[in-house]
Amino acid sequence: MKPAAQHVVDLKNQYFIPCLYHFYQEPPVIVKGAMQYLYDNDGKQYTDFYAGVTVMNCGHCNPEIIEPAIEQIRTLQHTTTIYLTNPTVELGRKLVEYLDCELKKLFFVNSGSEANEGAILLSRLYTGKRGIIAVNGGLHGRTDLTMNATGIEMWRTDPDETLPIHFVPKPHCAQCELNLSPDSCNMACLNAVENLLQCETDIAAMIIEPIQGNGGIIVPPDDYFIRLKTILAQHNVLLILDEVQTGLGRTGTTYRFKSLGIEPDILTTAKALGNGFPIAAFCTTNKIAEIYRKPGASTTGGNAVSATAALAVIDYHEKHQLAAQAAARGKYLRAKLVELQHEFSFVAEVRGAGLMLGMELMADGQPLTTATDQILEIMKDRGFLIGKTGVNRNILTFLPPLIITQADIDAMLEALSFALNTLKKQSNN
């Protein structure tokens, strides 16, 4: 490891709680960002295909976003929700307009975990019930409550249940947990939800990501959400859609629910909303919002600076049509990844939507976890930061800023082809 990186690792080891880990055996120290590029302390450029986990959708240090935020810092930085300020309420209006549906009321917080906590609280207040349904392989946060609703072993640090929580099978047809085939299963994973609701009455909501991010870029089959919403509504159970990763253009529409044929009862959004400034929200209908009347507050949630940045983010999305760009570039990238799948037998599946794409590596039915790390390392050495995800950490992820160019994608694909070939040669030896 280079001395500068070793210094940072030593400081981390000395002062940080050991759970905080990092990618790479030879990690770079990132010192600068400019749109789709990051730079390390040796001046080496990396094209970012991870976007800080789908946060930097508008690119790093984008002047159209940071300049208004810097101006806001100079003018008024923070007051808290008990004082009236313009940026926060303007953002409320703007986000409701951008959502463009029946979700007309919202509450700003700082992180995705906090937004999901708020959503769960609201569902319990509204329904007067306590239990929550969540999906195997889902991830909803790092707080105790949201970790409880997380269906991935490695991210459930506290295995004890603070929530009355019920997990249902994940809707992943290619690797069905129920060992069924999509042609004949009649969505048995949804029957599991229905069966549960027939025996269990104390359930307030089901929380689900429209595409599982940490679970491995799992895209439910068409019509899954239409049927799910009907089942939940029949039992007066709310649908909380966790759009923390999928929001703000990532999957090729402003929010993923726009392509699902449903509207959720509560939606959570975070990450890309602030493009690096901490801001998140839970959003709901006028009717559900009515129940939440006991005083609520957030010290820094929706503060003037983050709200100004988020306003600039939504403006930027609209001005540059980022959702449409994600759809077009994503289509191209996906087609090229599928070509690689045909070339390399250990590429088991390519999946996702827009610029939220995953490539699963498997051999003889086993996840190639170590090889996935190797690919990440080779890609980094060649100047590309890609991600990894999944229950077995064997899915390469491609989540670039949505302003990525076709030339950037082509260059990344060349490096990826090299990395996959390296792996192939190793497995032949």
Ligand X SMILES: Cc1ncc(COP(=O)(O)O)c(C=O)c1O
Q: Which is nearer to ligand X, 116 or 275 (CB)?
A: 116
CA R_g for the chain: 21
Among 52, 213, 276, 387, interactor with ligand X by CB under 6 A = 213
Closest alpha carbon to 203 in 127, 131, 122, 147: 131
For ligand X, how many residues bind (rule: CB under 6 A)? 16
| Strand ordering across the sheet containing 238-242 | 103-109, 280-285, 266-269, 238-242, 203-208, 131-135, 165-168
Q: Which is nearer to ligand X, 110 or 409 (CB)?
A: 110
Least distance (Å) between residue 388 CB and ligand X: 13
Among 209, 265, 360, 408, interactor with ligand X by CB under 6 A = 209
Q: What is the rounded distance in angstroms from the CA atom of residue 353 to the CA atom of residue 219?
A: 8
Looking at 83-91, 105-113, 322-330, 374-382, which segment touches ligand X (CB under 6 A)? 105-113
Contacts of 401 (CB under 8 A, 6+ apart): 35, 36, 48, 51, 56, 57, 58, 59, 60
Q: Which is nearer to ligand X, 91 or 217 (CB)?
A: 217
Looking at 5-13, 17-25, 107-115, 317-325, which segment touches ligand X (CB under 6 A)? 107-115
Q: Which is nearer to ligand X, 48 or 209 (CB)?
A: 209
β-pair partners for 284: 105, 266
Q: Which is nearer to ligand X, 113 or 394 (CB)?
A: 113
Using an 8 Å Cβ cutoff, are 131 and 165 in contact?
yes
Least distance (Å) between residue 214 CB and ligand X: 6
Q: Could you please report the per-residue DSSP string of 17-53? A: -TT---S-SS---EEEEEBTEEEETT--EEEESSHHH
Q: What is the rounded distance in angstroms from the CA atom of residue 245 to the CA atom of residue 213?
A: 7
Least distance (Å) between residue 48 CB and ligand X: 17
Of residues 393 through 422, those in contact with ligand X by CB under 6 A are none
* Contact map string, positions 45 to 74, toward ligand X, x by CB under 6 A: --------x---------------------
Among 113, 303, 306, 394, interactor with ligand X by CB under 6 A = 113
Least distance (Å) between residue 422 CB and ligand X: 30
Q: What is the rounded distance in angstroms from the CA atom of residue 405 to the CA atom of residue 78?
A: 37
Work out the burial of residue 73: count CB atoms within 10 Å of its CB; fewer than 13 is exposed, 13-18 middle, 19 or more buried.
middle
Residue closest to ligand X when measured from CB atoms:
112
Looking at 31-39, 73-81, 112-120, 217-225, which segment touches ligand X (CB under 6 A)? 112-120
Distance of CA 340 to the CA centre of its chain: 25
Residue 270 found at the interface with ligand X (CB under 6 A):
yes
Using an 8 Å Cβ cutoff, are 48 and 56 in contact?
yes
Q: Which is nearer to ligand X, 376 or 415 (CB)?
A: 376
β-pair partners for 359: 350, 396
Distances in Å between the Cα of 375 and the Cα atoms of 43, 154, 232, 295 are 22, 21, 42, 50
Of residues 230 through 269, those in contact with ligand X by CB under 6 A are 242, 244-245
* Contact map string, positions 114 to 153, toward ligand X, x by CB under 6 A: --x----------------------xxxx-----------
Q: What is the DSSP letter of 202?
A: -
Residues interacting with ligand X, by CB under 6 A?
A: 53, 111-113, 116, 139-142, 209, 213-214, 242, 244-245, 270
